Amino acid sequence: MERMELEVTTRPSLSKGERKKMRSEDLVPAVIYGRGDDNLPLTIDGRTLRQILTTGGSNVLLDLKVKSKGKKTRQETVMFRDIQRDILIQDRILHVDFIRISMTDKIDVSVHLNFIGEPVGTEEGGVLSMVTRVVDVKCLPGDIPEQFDVDISELNIGDSITAESLVLDDEIELITPLETTLAQVLAPMSEEELEPAVDEELEEGEEAAEEEGEGKKAKRKSLKKKLISFCPISFLKYGSEQF
């Protein structure tokens, strides 16, 4: 796991207006907590923070160089605990929580999965469903893997791969249950099989649809026809909420 340095500055408690002004200058408010020490409010340069996240990811180990007015610079070894992002402005970070860590104490972390290959079942019309994107493990901070590779190329229609198949180093303990499905290849469905699935998806809120008027009900019927004609079952199960 990569280890990086980041310069930060201590700050006083801020009002809502002061926080807004800080963010307009591309400065990010943050706080360090944990290991029995006092919480420490910080200010971070937004551009530098984004570069670290791009390069090292959210599981990166950080040696913070903490600068305080009139005091000697000190170091805090931390990891990201929470990153609050602006849902409207891309790449804008609103606040960061850091947690203090010890390099000799094991911690629980989430590690991303990297799916490799194209399942043979998709060549026969099957639909790939990636069920789980991250798994939880326990290890020393220095042993945190960047990701776990999951080879899905041998999956046929009806096959699945579980967390039990992950290859972990001896020093890493898997917390996610072994039977957790990571990915599976679903069988394609005929129009006759899709009809009940679509009905089930559209049944909720039917009462409200009756109050919407004939125009909206017609639109709803049209949507149903499109779903049956063009959508695989994986979309009906996992993606129809977008409508």
Question: How is the chain split into domains, by residue range?
Answer: 3-100, 107-186, 191-242
Strand ranges inside 155-241, DSSP E: 160-162, 173-174, 181-186
* Confidence band for 89, pLDDT divided at 50, 70 and 90: confident
Quick one: tokens of 209?
Answer: 């649809």
pLDDT digits (tens, 9 = 90+) for 5-55: 999 999 998 888 988 899 999 999 999 999 989 999 999 999 999 999 999
- What is the greatest pairwise CA distance in the chain? 75
Tell me what pLDDT residue 11 has.
Answer: 93
Query: What superfamily does domain 107-186 belong to in CATH?
Result: Ribosomal protein L25, C-terminal domain (2.170.120.20)
> CA end-to-end span of the chain, whole Å?
40
**pTM of structure:** 0.70
- Look at 7-21, 29-43, 126-140, 201-215 and tell me which has the smallest mean pLDDT: 201-215
Query: In CATH, what is the architecture of 3-100?
Result: Beta Barrel (2.40)
Helix-strand-coil split of the chain, %, nearest 5: 30, 35, 35
Locate tokens 């207006």: which residue? 17
